Structure formats: C-alpha cells, structure tokens
Structure 1
Amino acid sequence: MLRRLVFSAFAAGTAAPSADNSRPAGASNGRVPNDLAPCERSVRKDAPELVQVILVMRHGYRTPLYGFGSLESLDWQCLSPEETESIFSQIDLYRVKPSSYIEEEKCRVGPEVLDVASFRKAVVGFGNCFSGQLTRLGHQQMSALGQKLRRHYVDFLNFLPSEWDARQFFVRSSSIRRNVESAFEVIRGMYPKSRENVAIHLYSPKEENIYFDNTCKTLRQLFLEFRYPGGINAEKRQWGPLFEASDFKDVSEYQSWSRLSPPALCNKLWTIFAHNLPFPQGITPESVVKACELSGKYHGELLSDPLVCKLGIGRLLKDIVQHLQYKISTRSIDGSEPANGDWSPRLVLLSGHDSTLAPLLQTLKLSKGIHPTMGSVIAFELWAQKSQPEPTYFVKVMYNFEDMIIPECNNQIMCPWNDFFELTKSKIPQDYDLECHLPKASV
C-alpha cells in the first residue's frame, strides 16, 4: 500500500503521499495498467481552434546512469540487441540546424552519433541492460503515452490526422539513445498501423539546447556558487540525513547513496521503485518521497536565479517561440493552411530530460520547484479565435495534461500570443556565446 501511495503522489506532481491510489503507466506492479482514459474536456461551438501543439517530454523509465553495490544485481529488463536493431531500422536520423525544418535542410546520420562519450564511459552491467538504457517497461510507458495523445488530439479534439502524415509532425531529440527510442515509441503509440519510418532530428553537440550546456562559463560559475558553501548543502543540513548509516550493509554503500545530488538520488530511487525492484538494504519507500521532495527543492532554489534559467533553457524556449511564431506567420487570415509551399507542422515533439522540463516550468513561473518524473510532458498549445480583420492567437500550457495558470500573463490559462511573446523576451539570451563568457554582473 505504501508503494502505491508514494507513486500516486508523484504521478500527480505533488511532493507528499496522498490517499489517491491511482498510478501512472508502469506503476509499482511493473506493468502498464489500462488507466489512460481520454482527457475529459468540453469544447464549445465558439471555442478557439487548435492550430499547433509543441510537446516537451522527458524520456521513459531507464536504468540508473551508473551503479554501485547491489544496484547492478537487480533484475533490470531491456530489449534485446535484435529488438533494438529492429527499432532503429524504423527510424531515420537527421542532423539539423536550429529551426531548419522550415527550409527542410537536413543531413542523414546513423545511430553511431548517439550517446556522447561520457555516457559510453559510464556503461556498467545491469542485467541485460547498460547504464541509462530505456527499459522494456520504459518502452511500454512511452507507447502508452502515445496512445493517450492519440485519444486526446486525434479522437477527441479531431486535431491530428487519423492516419500518419509525416508532414504534420516534427520530432527532435537529444542525442541520447533512450530519448530517441522514447520519441519513436510515442509516435508508434499514436500511429501503430503506420509502416513509414519516423524521422527524428538531432542538433549538433555545439548547438544542443535541450539541456544545460556545461561549456557555458557563466552557467558553471552559477552552479558552483549554488553548491558551495551554501545552496543545496544548506538544504541537506536543513532536512537532516536521508539515511541512517547503521541501516546499510556496509559504510561504502551508505557513502555511495548519501553523496548523490538530490536529482540523481531521486532518479535512481524512482526507477527502482517504478520497476517494482527491491530496494537495497537501508532504503525504504519513504526514502523515495523524501529524496524527490528534496530534488524539487533543489530545482526550485537553483532555478530561482533568472540567469540560470536564461542561459540554461532560454535557447530552447526561443525554439519553442519560433515554432509558434512561424505557424502564425504561415497561416492565411481566414485560418486556412498555406498553398504557396510554406509549411509548419501541427505537432512538434521534443524529447528531453528532467533538466529540460524543470527549468522550462520554472522560467515561466509555472512551478516553484518540481522534479519531473520520467515520462512527464509539457504541452504548449497554440489556439486561434476567429476575429476581424484576422484571427487572435492564444497560448495554453499543460503539464501532464493539466492546464497551467500562467502567472506572468495575468494568471490566465489562455494567454494572448502577444503577451506570451513579450513575457518570453527577457528569458531568452540575445547573444548566448557572449553572455556565457561575460562576468555574471555584466549579463
């Protein structure tokens, strides 16, 4: 029962157990339950028309990024090499420049570009898996997310086509294998009958903006100032010890767990919990709650500095704004799709990480600190209201299918496009390379 309560708390995006026994896909029984009912939303006849959706999601359940002690002996289950090869035979990978889908400029690349060198070095044994790999349960979880998106955007809103039409979609992922596979599973979950390959686009390592750039000197300085001497160390002291050394089988295992950063600790415990695997001696379900609450606090404190958000996720926010802006610019005044060759997709899918979703939520002041669990998704919806002389556009944001109030837009859910555009200006770096090498006070 306690496992179920813990899972329910974080499925709802809260930081403490609740009495609700509902569980997300891949709950503690290690299976994907049939709990993905269509979203219940009434649509009035005079309601605005949905014209574009940008989904920013976190990858599905994975193995830990690195292991120690008893972690590697747990029964992790992943796809076989043959199954993985079959998936990649259905994916076309392309290297693109930021926003280059507009000109359709892209270069075909192979799977060998995935997983940066640092991740290759971290590979350790996890049953039949490697570190950071999307597990079999993670594949099922993301396919279930795709099915829910289909029910919502195809069956319920009649927004996306019932049959796969590649021109209506743009999919981009970080160059990490689990993210590419997660994006593929979402699309296949939405369109299981399609036999066309799925095009997934990647930025070069230098241009990647879907997570924090560790080459940005100003950002590194801000991280160091946060961590030492106060910051999260002070938070840890405030919370007290998460574990008792005497509960562990040896001192080295206790030290391995206690030295982890709050996000790393939450991720490691959460994935053990989600797969219904036994906790190591000294770890309890209460540890999951406490660690993930602390991780939310960590994100809240770190991202309370607008400069961290601006340099950390501002370039991705710029991409999102440009997608929306281009969609508006290519629509006719009467709302029809352009006939002159201009094109923009109906759905943009961006496959990222917890370090993608947390700062996006915080920079728009949609959260004061949350740890986005694996499989979480932010939706930016662009709506058009017929008016004269031309349509009026609005942006709505949802987190895990729940409408979000936008504080900087007069606490509205439907934020007028011009207001949304204006509130994002200060959150986007004007000259990223320059601002990353200036003293903090000059930025």
Structure 2
Amino acid sequence: MGVIRLSNPSRILYFSFHIILILLQQTTAERELKFVVVVFRHGDRTPVTSFPTDLHKESEWPQGYGQLTKIGMQQLFELGQYTRERYSNFLNSTYNRKEFYIQSTDYDRTIMSAQTYLAGLFPPTGHQIWNPELLWQPIPVHILQKSTDRMLHFPLPDCPHSEELQNETQTSSEFQSRIQPYMDFLQAMAVNTGLELNNLKKLDNFQLWNTYDTLHCEAIHNYTLSVWATKDVMDKMEKLSELSLLSLFGIYKTEEKSRLQGGVLVNVILNSFKQAASSPKQRKMEVYSAHDTTIGALQIALNIFNGKLPPYAACQFFELYQESSGQYSIEMYYRNDTSKDPYLLTLPGCTSSCPLEKFAELVSPVITENWSKECGKKDKMKDIFIGFDVAVALLFIFDLVLLYLLYHYGRCRHRNNYQDI
C-alpha cells in the first residue's frame, strides 16, 4: 500500500485544519445547556362558541365547546416526543419531579394537552412501569385558578389601564389605517353571520375572531360550511383575526401594553433563568400549557412576533446555556410547523445567543415592579382601612355632638328647675 507524502505547505495546512477542528470541538463541548422553559398552545379543539347563522350546534360536538379533540391529543403527544428527542442528552430518561415542573391554565383543553404532552415526554421505563399493558404514568400538572392566574391567561383581566389602552388602540390612526380596507367586508360579514357589528371602526377583538375560529374548527373536522364561507372570505377573516391579536398587545403603545400583559410572563421566565444561573438547582425544565394569546402576548413583548396566529401545539422554547467563559446566554426557538425544525429567533438589539445580562437589560422596559399599581387597581385592603378610619372618626364626632347635647340639655333643665323654685 502506497504512502501519501505531503509537501511542507500541505502539511502545515493539514495540521492547521485539524487543530482548528479540535479547538471547535472543545469549544462546543464546553458549552453546556443548563435550563429550559417551554411555552406551548393547546392542541386542536372544538369551537369555543358559535354565531347566529352557524349551521352546526354545540350538541354536534361529542364533548361540547372548547374541548380537546383526538387530533389535539395526537399533536401534543408528538410535541412531547419531540421535546424528549431534542433534550435526550439533557433531561433524565425517566421522570424526576425535582428536575421537571409543568403548569397549565385552568381549562380542560390546556390541562388535557399537558397530560398528553407528558405521555409523549415521559413514557415509563424500568421501575416506573406500573402496568405492562399501559406505558403511561401519572405526572402532576399544576394549575392556577382563573381568578388568580396572573401569568398565563392573556389578556390579563381586571386591569383598568389595560382596558383604557385597548380603547385608545381602536381609535388610533395606526389601527384605523389597517382596518379601513376591510370596511365593506365587515358589513357583509355582519349580514352573513348575524352578528351585531355596531361600530365597524372598532373591531371587536373576539367576536369576529371567534367566528373565524368556529369555521376553522368545522373545516378541520369536515363539517359543512356556510355557502358564503369561501376561501377568500376565510383568508380575510384570518387576517382580521391576526389584526385582533396584534391590537390586543401591540400596534399602539406596545411597550406600555406589554408591561401589563406579556411582560409579566417574560419576567417569570427571566427570574427562572437568573435563579438557575446564580444558584444551580436540580430543576432543569419548566413547561407551561396555555393559549394562542399567551404565545402572542409573550412574543409581542419580546418583539419577535411574526404576525401570524400561533397554530395548535405551537411551542416557544427558551434555552439557558453556560458558555466556556462561564457566562450565561439565552437562545429562543419557535416551533410552529411539525415538518420543519424550530426557527431560531433573535431578540432585537442582541445576537441569537444573547448574554443573560444583555437579555435582562433589553427586556427591562416591559417589566413592571408593581403590576396592580400600573393597572390602576385600587388597594381593597387600603380602602377597607380608610373606610374603618372614617367610620371611627364619624363615631367620635357623633359622640362629641351627643355629649354636647347632653351637657346643654342638663344646663337648661337645671336653669328651669331654679326658676320654678
């Protein structure tokens, strides 16, 4: 067998190339994934409501409105499997409650989505198999009641200033310039759907959006659509639904809106990363099962929104890495198509692998220290104490007046008695 002899320049290039490869491999090996946050939309569901001229009634859907379907279960099971594959070298091969945490909004469809996601992510193996005929294991899904959920279910309710901003958005020039081309279409839709769209210049954020969603759900499940629901009509309704989502959290005074909406979740995620970086802990992943508005509010707050409605099972990944230098960085990926790899997203003003400190600095404008105060909410306890103080003061004044009257009455009676004598 012949020996390949290299000339001196070739040898130098050959060895230089291999040295570079070795250095690159060492750099890659030294970079370590430390923590992951996952936020996803629930899977395919039945319509959440109807409209007056709808051809179908709630009774036609086996579980009624707003419920996860078999298609939705399959979507989230597949997402769980994808997450398992993506982090196979990071997550423990078996479920470990100290490493993993999942939370859902208080809706049947999000809770069930979380459960089917977990079935794909953590199928039991070895000692965790409790029924050989059922490769599934129970894993706790944490839930906040709707009345106390101030993190996942957007738009967050009970925020007067947010409602003011929304009203201002509807009349703003930015919004009106986008809705003007649809005026004739909206009038036609009012007739076709039977909806009372009284003020077409103020797009009801959910009325038309829900109508499009109902038709979209019916189309997915091969229900007969109304004659007027052509592809062109559906496309326009989709655009108006996207405008509705965008107007909720953006278009007008976006930063101010985000402080009261999506920025709340940004702050939760940032604090989780800070804690993971400052004091290494056993938890490796936090997962949130939520809604299209959750992903929309979050992405708009981060200025990474693509303008499209997040589809069923859309998933936003946040990954915290410790670089070879010891510094921490964040990468963001968006999965909205199962046929493609997730999109790498870049926070404006930073690189795709954004240093944690820089990330915190860039998102600080959308983070509030006192959500209730900025919302313009009244402090109920403070009102109670003020009311109590006022009541005490009035009682004190009443006592003084009563004492004065008694004293005055006593003097008058004494004078009258003296005159009688």
Aligned to 1:404: 345
CA distance in 2, matches of 1:321, 1:235: 33
- Structure 1 residue 185 and structure 2 residue 116: aligned? yes
What is the aligned counterpart of 2:77 among 130, 134, 143?
A: 143
Aligned to 1:201: 142
TM-score, structure 1 as length reference:
0.67
TM-score, structure 2 as length reference:
0.70
Aligned to 1:353: 291
Aligned to 2:224: 278
Whichever residue aligns with residue 33 of structure 2, its letter is L
Change (3 A) 1:262 1:152: farther
Q: Deviations over 1:333-388 (max 9, x none)?
A: xxxxxxxxxx352111111111111121111111253321221111111111122x
Q: Report the CA distance between 1:261 and its aligned residue.
A: 4.2
Check conservation: 2:46, 2:61, Cα contact below 8 A: no
Check conservation: 1:218, 1:435, Cα contact below 8 A: yes
CA distance in 2, matches of 1:129, 1:72: 18
Whichever residue aligns with residue 151 of structure 2, its letter is N
CA distance in 2, matches of 1:242, 1:186: 40
Q: Report the CA distance between 1:301 and its aligned residue.
A: 4.2
Q: Report the CA distance between 1:309 and its aligned residue.
A: 1.2
CA distance in 2, matches of 1:415, 1:262: 38
CA distance in 2, matches of 1:242, 1:223: 23
CA distance in 1, matches of 2:212, 2:192: 19
CA distance in 2, matches of 1:318, 1:372: 21
Change (3 A) 1:161 1:435: same
CA distance in 2, matches of 1:277, 1:405: 40
Check conservation: 2:53, 2:194, Cα contact below 8 A: no
Whichever residue aligns with residue 46 of structure 1, its letter is T
Whichever residue aligns with residue 428 of structure 1, its letter is I
CA distance in 2, matches of 1:274, 1:347: 33
Check conservation: 1:395, 1:414, Cα contact below 8 A: yes
Change (3 A) 1:241 1:63: farther
Whichever residue aligns with residue 41 of structure 2, its letter is R
What is the aligned counterpart of 1:253 among 193, 200, 204?
A: 193
Q: Deviations over 1:134-168 (max 9, x none)?
A: 112111111111122222222xxx11122222222
Aligned to 1:15: none
SS of the residue aligned with 1:219?
Answer: helix
Q: Report the CA distance between 1:317 and its aligned residue.
A: 1.3
Q: Report the CA distance between 1:240 and its aligned residue.
A: 4.4
CA distance in 2, matches of 1:438, 1:166: 37
Structure 1 window deviating more from structure 2 (168-177 vs 363-372): it is: 363-372
Aligned length, in residue pairs:
326
Whichever residue aligns with residue 369 of structure 1, its letter is G
Aligned to 1:429: 368
Whichever residue aligns with residue 354 of structure 2, its letter is C
CA distance in 2, matches of 1:191, 1:364: 30
Aligned to 1:66: 49
Whichever residue aligns with residue 414 of structure 1, its letter is S
Within 5 Å, give how 1:33-432 maps onto structure 2: 45-47=26-28, 48-68=31-51, 71=54, 73=56, 124-154=58-88, 158-193=89-124, 195-204=136-145, 205-210=147-152, 211-228=154-171, 235-242=178-185, 245=188, 251=191, 253-255=193-195, 261=207, 263-302=209-248, 303-304=250-251, 305-331=254-280, 343-367=281-305, 369-387=307-325, 391-400=326-335, 401-409=342-350, 412-432=351-371
Q: Report the CA distance between 1:232 and its aligned residue.
A: 5.1
Whichever residue aligns with residue 166 of structure 1, its letter is R
CA distance in 1, matches of 2:140, 2:352: 32
CA distance in 2, matches of 1:222, 1:283: 33
Whichever residue aligns with residue 92 of structure 2, its letter is P
Structure 1 window deviating more from structure 2 (54-63 vs 300-309): it is: 300-309
Q: Give the alignment's Cα RMSD to 1 decimal.
A: 2.8
Change (3 A) 1:427 1:244: closer
Check conservation: 2:119, 2:136, Cα contact below 8 A: no
Whichever residue aligns with residue 276 of structure 2, its letter is K
CA distance in 2, matches of 1:196, 1:219: 42
Check conservation: 2:36, 2:286, Cα contact below 8 A: yes
Check conservation: 1:56, 1:352, Cα contact below 8 A: yes
Change (3 A) 1:46 1:307: same
Change (3 A) 1:429 1:244: closer
Structure 1 window deviating more from structure 2 (192-201 vs 398-407): it is: 192-201
Bigger radius of gyration: 2
Structure 1: gaps spanning 5 or more residues: 1-42, 75-123, 332-342
Q: Report the CA distance between 1:185 and its aligned residue.
A: 0.9
Q: Report the CA distance between 1:169 and its aligned residue.
A: 1.0
CA distance in 1, matches of 2:162, 2:216: 28
Structure 1 window deviating more from structure 2 (189-198 vs 376-385): it is: 189-198
Whichever residue aligns with residue 147 of structure 1, its letter is Q
